[in-house]
Chain A
């Protein structure tokens, strides 16, 4: 008999591995809340990182656009002191690679961050569930991205002691921009910090004011002090200046060309005449900037002025300085406007002093171009009262809600009304974020996520 043993051993090809190798995670040196993931692949590939607070992951970085063998990706918007799981995926020719699931714990929040207290609904659109890009001016200015639950997701410390009043996302969605108003030792600049912490650049803007915007083509438009003689004194007016990519300035308009200080002296102190404090940009489109319209909040003139970029003229005034769009009968007027949001049909104003001494309020007007009237459509005066010395803002959200920034009071609120509520009805406070006394919030923008953030008022 011949008995041959049964062969049970396979001898085929072993599966090749396309897994990314040398995967490393580290905190970014510039933005400590950002986690940088690095890895390598044998062949040029593109990849991304999925991550989350459970091993199910759930979020992803953007896919690399260029094939390479040395890769980096950044986890932006992660919570401090939190364990995250992450995994790298690659696409190499037609093969897909994946690293094992690994984990890391993110850095703690900065010690100079004021304690932020959230009340109300921070998880739905009935309350507030978006992210806020918000300068926090406490012991040390901090440009931050705060989640609706009060968690700090991103921050950058302005460590030259300059004043920061405004932060916005860059139009390409990759950076945070903020104004750093010089303090005698450090110049005024618009600072650009990459969200992933990969770079910090700046554009010098002498006499930079409290607000700026970035046009869809990437140019900046900023408020700049414009000091001129008036009679025997020097008055500090403002102008709107556009800076192209090289930093070359072009004045769009000077408020000296719109108002006469003898006719509209304003109520500013110490030679502070127009007191332009805020800009709202409407209609910017990267293929056509001709529709760009600026609304400027002139605190000391108790007015809002409209300036089309194309004409560089103050073509409309709402408020005390010679209004071309007067308030409709019965509508509230504002005194010392702070942050504004203007568009063709709406104007929202944080009214610092119009409600009476020590009382600020949020106002909204419907603008009727035909009838040339501003009709009050929303009014919110908190009780107990809140007073805002400067800055602040109000903007309508979906669902008959408004986001109000009580800046110097260190408070943000989302309030809401029933759809058919009468003017003046006290809205419900749906959500609030409060910082300790002494904390000031700069002008905010909101965004749904940090993946491709946009500037919503």
Chain B
């Protein structure tokens, strides 16, 4: 039994030699893929929710770029998946692979089912985003925020102008004061008025000094006056930087600095120049404090305005971000649907394809082909059913093969038996003729062919036609008279062949075959040549008759003869006339009695023929010895010898065989002489008796032929020649040839008579070889 073939070969695109299963067959990878997809969707949801917290610049830049790149990637992926499927479909259709159309239809169905709603969602969502964005930036909000920002910035601007004006005025008044003097009292007095009168909150005065190493100018603080309400902070540091920038000629002469304690400090610096107006002597920095509430409100107004303005400026990229979200979700759905369609198609087609391959394998005779069940669902049940069916087919196939083997073996046996029977039929002496169901001759064995004179051409011909021949009509009548049942019908049939009667013991029976009707199976005739048996029976009968006849006749003959002789002696003294009459009558009685005695002797000899005492006999010597008796006896008859060169010895009783030869030669000579006496013409050639021998190796017999050129024997008399009391001679007892046949038969041979060409007769004696 061949090992079971398990087929788990993936139909498409799988690597048979790889130990790793393909992606679609690895549940972990599938789960990871689904998890990644869900994570991507969740990340997008989270990102969309927190998009308001992200800066518009970040959204319109990095996020938009990332989403655009992701959208393009998804688009390329979708195009790739679709193109791949289209190409595979075309290739598979060209290669006539199964299920290509089914997969294409399934993918198209999945894509079509998701494409329309996804695109509708995309369109509706994009329209909603655009309309919502338009509503965000409507005119009232814009006016309010712009005006509020103008108010806040205007307030700061006014304060900056005021502080700058104070700084310039104080710087002008300080031009007449020596800032380098050690006594800073005049300077303090001058600036304290500005502070105490509440016009500014802080005034800081710097003196310009030259750096010792490179001559660069710098400022050093001289004095500062501040109100007590001003929060203490790092204001001096920023004031120092402002003073330095103003001294350096920067256009940035004022600043707004937030204070840690709250509020802003609006600062303005002015350069203190000398009387000539060219040499900088110092810098005055004037600061005005904006309280925390004002500053906070102003900043919040500005921040709101800026946020609003930024949103308006980035309106299109922000819309693009949200549209990209929708587009990405749409593409994700489409790619997922496409991939899912391909995946489902493969999952469906894989077992179907395996089943298809399995069916083809079964069709190709691979009944041990099995499919490895991969799932426990209906497909798994289908695969199990297929395997069960394949197993059943394999078992049936094996049974069938065993049956075929048995059938072949039986066929061989039947064939051998048929040849054996055919050989037997060909070799046996029993004739067998079979008639097929259609009435034609099916079989004619050699013996039948010989006995019935049928050639091989009779096979296949209708039996009614074959047995319609005149000499075979008794056989045909027997066939026609066969009963429908297959009981054998036995009969003795006498046929005339070549002028001779042959007797056949015929047994005919109808054949019964499966499926054939009553008597529709044909028939068979078996027959044996019982002619020798019939003849032997007749001879035996005649022998018995002869014996009885000899016994019954012999007994009264002697008294008759004695009485006749007694009468002749008694009437020896009688008158001459009476004596002559008695002499004549008694002589006649005695003569006839002698004849009857001779006849009785022959009958007795025929009945009491002794069993032959066979010895190896040189046939030619025996023939020469027998024929030597005729040398010089007949002038008008020639005895010719035609002996075969090599004739084996035969086992025979020499005396009986010599008697046979003499009897046959006597008969021939007598026929020739009788014919000459009767005036029958011998064509002027004289009588000729040809005695010949022949050896038939095939039949294992030695033939002795005695032929004459006499008038011949009519065919109707030939069979009667060998019967007792049948004679064509006027003086014959009719027992010569009967004795000859009996001798030959008791030697295991046969004697036949036939025409000698166109003139005369030939007696052929067949004796078995002694070897």
Chains A and B are bound partners: no
